[in-house]
Amino acid sequence: MINLISDTVTQPCKSMLKAMMEAEVGDDVFGQDPTINALEAKLMDMFGMEAAVYCPSGTMTNQIAIRVHIGLLEELICDINSHVYQSETGGYAANSGAGVKLIHGTNGKITAEQVKMAINPDYDWVPKSKLVVLENTCNKGGGCYYTAEEIEPITALCKEEGLKLHLDGARIFNALIESGDKPQSMGRLFDSISVCLSKGLGAPVGSVLLGNKDFIKQARRCRKAMGGGMRQAGYLAAACIYALDHNIDRLKIDHDRAKLIAQKVAELPMVENIRPVHTNILIFDVKPPHTSASFIKKLEELGILAVPFGPQTVRFVTHLDFTEAMLDQVLTKLQMLQ
Ligand SMILES: *Cc1c(COP(=O)(O)O)cnc(C)c1O
C-alpha cells in the first residue's frame, strides 16, 4: 500500500533510530533531560526566540498557547478552516473557556483587514478579542503558505490593538522552504510558535512551543496540568534533532511530487475543483455521483491510501516515506481511473 493519508505516517529510518538509541536522557519534568534541552535550544536559536518547551503533540502546543494567552470571557480569532477550530476537539473552549471568532479567509489565509473587522469593540457585553491564530502552511487550505511579508501587517495590527499572535506551525518548514524566508523572520512576528516535528520532518513524536521566557514558564505549568510532562523523553527528542538536521531541505521534493500528482489528477474526468498545490498537500473534489468515499475505495483497490476531507473532497499528502518509485506507481495507477 502507498500511504498518502498524511505526512504523519512516516517510520523512523535506521539512522534516526540509532540517534534515539544513543540519546542521553534525564527527567524532563525537572528540566534534566539533556537531549530535550538541546532540542529546545536548537529551535530557540533557529527561530530567534527566548524559550521553548517540548510537548507530546501539536494539539497540546496549540492548546497550551491558547490557554496562556487567553481566558474566560475572551475570544480568539482564526480562519474557519484552522486546525485549532476544526481538529482539536473544541479544546479552546474546554481548556481555556474561550470563545472563537471565525474568519472566512482564502485557502486558510486571512488578512490584516479581515482581522481588524473581527476585533470586538470594548463593550461590557461582547467577548474581549485577545488572540489571533495563524496556520502556516494551512492544512485545510490545501497547503497554502504565508510569507513573512504577508504576516507583517497582521503583527502590526495585533501590537496596535493589544492582541497576542500565535502561529500553528505544524508545517512551518514546508512554508519556509517555498517562501525562502528564514525561521527568524517568523520568530520576530509572533508571540508564540508551535513547530511539529512529527509531520513532514518525519520524527515519530512531538512538537515544540516557542515564546518569551515568561510565556514558556507559564506554558510549562500548563503542560504539567494537561498531563504532558514526560520523563526520559529525550529518546524522542533525539529523533526530532535528527529530523531537523536531515529532513528540512528535502521537503522541496515532497512539494514537487505533490504537483506532479495534481497534474495527473487534473486529467481525471470525475475530478473537479483541484486546489492549487503550493506545498505537500493536494486537495480536490470528485463529481457526483462519485463521493470521496467511493473514490477512496477505488484508490484503495489500486493500492493507494488517501483520506476524505468532506463528502466530495479528497486529500493526498506527500512525505518522507513516499519515494520516487511510489510516485511513478501512483501516476500510472491514476491513469487507470480515466
Ligand atoms: C497535525 C496538525 C497539528 C497538530 O497535530 P498533532 O497530531 O496533535 O501533533 C496542528 N495543526 C495543524 C495544521 C496540523 O496539521
State the DSSP string of 12-58: --HHHHHHHHT-----GGGT--HHHHHHHHHHHHHHT-SEEEEES-H
CB of 59 closer than 6 angstroms to any ligand 1 atom: yes
- CA 126 / ligand 1 centre spacing (Å): 30
Tell whether the model's pLDDT for residue 338 goes beyond 90.
no
Cell numbers 515544540 correspond to what residue? Answer: 208
Model pLDDT for residues 93-116, shown as the tens digit of each residue: 999 999 999 999 999 999 999 999
Is the CB of 170 within 6 Å of ligand 1? yes
Q: Quote the CA–CA distance of 233 and 186 in Å, as a whole number.
A: 27
User: What average pLDDT does this structure show over 163-170?
Assistant: 98
Report whether 210 contacts 220 (CB < 8 A).
no
Q: Is the CB of 318 under 6 A from ligand 1?
A: no
Which of 192, 217, 246 is the endpoint of a domain?
Answer: 246
Pull the grid cell for residue 306: 488517501
Ligand 1 center from residue 60 Cα (angstroms): 9
Look at residue 174 and tell me if it is in a domain.
Answer: yes
Q: What are the tens digits of pLDDT across the range 46-67?
A: 999 999 999 999 999 999 999 9
Mean pLDDT of 278-288: 97
Q: Could you give the CA distance from residue 142 to residue 153 in angstroms, rounded to a whole number?
A: 23
Q: Strands 74-79 and 99-103: what pairing?
A: parallel
User: Could you give phi then psi for residue 312, rounded to 5 degrees?
Assistant: -115, 0
With a 6 Å cutoff on the Cβ, whether 135 touches ligand 1 is yes
| 93 and 239 share one domain | yes
CA distances from 222 to 22, 213, 229, 286 (A): 30, 14, 9, 43
> Within this chain, do residues 75 and 179 fall inside the same structural domain, yes or no?
yes
Domains identified in the chain, total number? 2
- pLDDT value of residue 267: 95
**Same domain assignment for residues 171 and 306:** no
Do 199 and 296 have their domain in common?
A: no
Q: Grid coordinates in use for 22?
A: 544513543
Q: What local confidence, expressed as pLDDT, does residue 26 receive?
A: 98
Question: Could you tell me if the CB of 196 is within 6 A of ligand 1?
Answer: yes
Question: How far, in whole angstroms, is CA 228 from its chain's centroid?
Answer: 19
Looking at every residue in the chain, the average pLDDT score rounds to: 97
Rounded to two decimals, the pTM is 0.97
Average pLDDT (14-29) is 98
Distance from residue 171's CA to the centre of ligand 1 (Å): 9
144 lines ligand 1 (CB under 6 A): no
How many A from CA of 88 to the centre of ligand 1? Answer: 8
**CA of 122 relative to ligand 1 center, distance in Å:** 33
Q: How far is the CA of 254 from the centre of ligand 1 (A)?
A: 18
CA 289–ligand 1 middle distance (angstroms)? 32
329 in ligand 1 pocket by Cβ < 6 Å?
no
Looking at the chain, the whole-number percentage of residues with pLDDT higher than 70 is 100
Q: Which of 190, 216, 246 is the last residue of a domain?
A: 246
Q: Which of 10, 79, 139 to mutate to test the pocket of ligand 1 (most atoms within 8 A of CB)?
A: 139
Single out the residue of 122, 118, 111 nearest to residue 156, CA to CA: 111
Residue 207 CA: which ligand 1 atom is closest?
9
**Based on the domain organization, do 193 and 286 belong to the same domain?**
no
Domain range for 301 is 250-337
Is 6 a member of any domain?
Answer: no
204-229 pLDDT tens trace: 999 999 999 999 999 999 999 999 99
Task: Note whether residue 2 is domain-resident.
Answer: no
Indicate whether residue 207 lines ligand 1 (CB < 6 A).
Answer: yes
Same domain? 254 vs 192: no
For ligand 1, atom 5: residue with the closest CA: 58
* Separation CA 2–CA 318 (nearest Å): 10
Q: Which atom of ligand 1 is nearest to the CA of 135?
A: 13
Decide whether any atom of ligand 1 lies within 6 Å of the 79 Cβ: no
- Nearest-angstrom CA–CA distance, 56 and 75: 26
Please choose, from the candidates 221, 223, 211, 230, the residue with its C-alpha nearest in 3D space to the C-alpha of residue 26: 230
Looking at 211, 246, 281, which one is the last position of a domain?
Answer: 246
pLDDT at 1: 94
Q: How far is the CA of 152 from the centre of ligand 1 (A)?
A: 24
